[in-house]
């Protein structure tokens, strides 16, 4: 039997990068997957590939920073698959390495909306489902930027620190109810998250001071394999953990 046979998994930011890799791997391991992304064309392409390889996938275009979109996404999942077992909060955006003095309200709210509020909304909407089932699994894609202060700009760093706090609080509160919540903290990964970014000169200079010891970036599939483990019964006693996946960068 495949690792996730019969499970229903919802993956945000599934149109590319880490989210695409997780959705594709979960589907290959037997999960019924719901792909969410702001770019409809991207998730349709991912779903097409999944189905071509014998998997099951549905698409729902959503701006996950909007609570109404999250509610509709959860309703869509339940309407089609009747339940939800695994929630992967992967959607995320960068902040151009902008230091606090130059962070506009617009940038702050946009980064917090996608990186933190989206995870909060989706967790709040799914906990009730998991409580009824007496089981559930949440995986939040954080960052080493959520562990240290110099890997990104102010807004991104704050959002990922907060996401880790959210992860630990949920894990502790609901552990007796059969619900697990863990986070993955990747280092550099070959994705398009920085596409179109215009780095802030000062912020980028400060961040770059610590990159001389950085290993080559990971492939999204490396992170997907870790997510699969956390989603599986093999990780049944792992809860409230933040698993660093950075090739040893932060070990220095």
Catalytic positions are 156
Distance CA 9, CA 176 (A): 22
How many whole angstroms separate alpha carbon 22 and alpha carbon 16? 10
CA distance 143 to 45: 26
Burial status of residue 142 (CB atoms within 10 A of its CB: 0-12, 13-18, 19 or more): buried
Please give the Cα distance from 179 to 14 (Å, whole number).
23
Handedness of CA 160, 185, 170, 131 (dihedral sign): positive
177 CB-side CA count, 13 A = 17
d(CA 99, CA 144): 17
């Amino acid at each position: 039997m495949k690792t996730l046979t019969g499970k229903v998994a919802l993956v945000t930011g599934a149109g590319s990068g880490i989210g695409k890799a997780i959705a594709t791997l979960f589907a290959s391991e037997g999960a019924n997957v719901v792909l969410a992304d702001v770019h409809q064309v991207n998730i349709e392409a991912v779903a097409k590939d999944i189905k071509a390889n014998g998997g099951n996938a549905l698409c729902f275009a959503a701006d996950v920073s909007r609570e109404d979109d999250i509610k509709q996404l959860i309703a869509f999942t339940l309407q089609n698959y009747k339940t939800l077992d695994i929630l992967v909060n992967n959607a995320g955006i960068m902040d151009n390495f902008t230091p606090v003095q130059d962070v506009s309200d617009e940038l702050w709210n946009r980064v917090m909306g996608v990186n933190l509020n989206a995870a909060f909304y989706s967790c709040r909407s799914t906990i009730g489902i998991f409580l009824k089932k007496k089981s559930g699994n949440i995986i939040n894609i954080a960052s080493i930027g959520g562990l240290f202060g110099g890997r990104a700009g102010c807004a991104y760093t704050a959002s990922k620190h907060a996401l880790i706090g959210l992860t630990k609080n949920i894990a502790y509160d609901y552990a007796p109810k059969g619900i697990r919540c863990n986070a993955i903290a990747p280092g550099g990964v070959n994705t398009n998250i920085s596409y179109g970014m215009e780095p802030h000169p000062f912020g980028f200079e400060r961040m770059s001071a610590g990159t001389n010891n950085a290993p080559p970036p990971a492939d999204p599939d490396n992170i997907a394999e870790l997510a699969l483990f956390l989603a599986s019964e093999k990780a049944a006693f792992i809860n409230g953990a933040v698993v660093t996946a950075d090739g040893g960068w932060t070990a220095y």
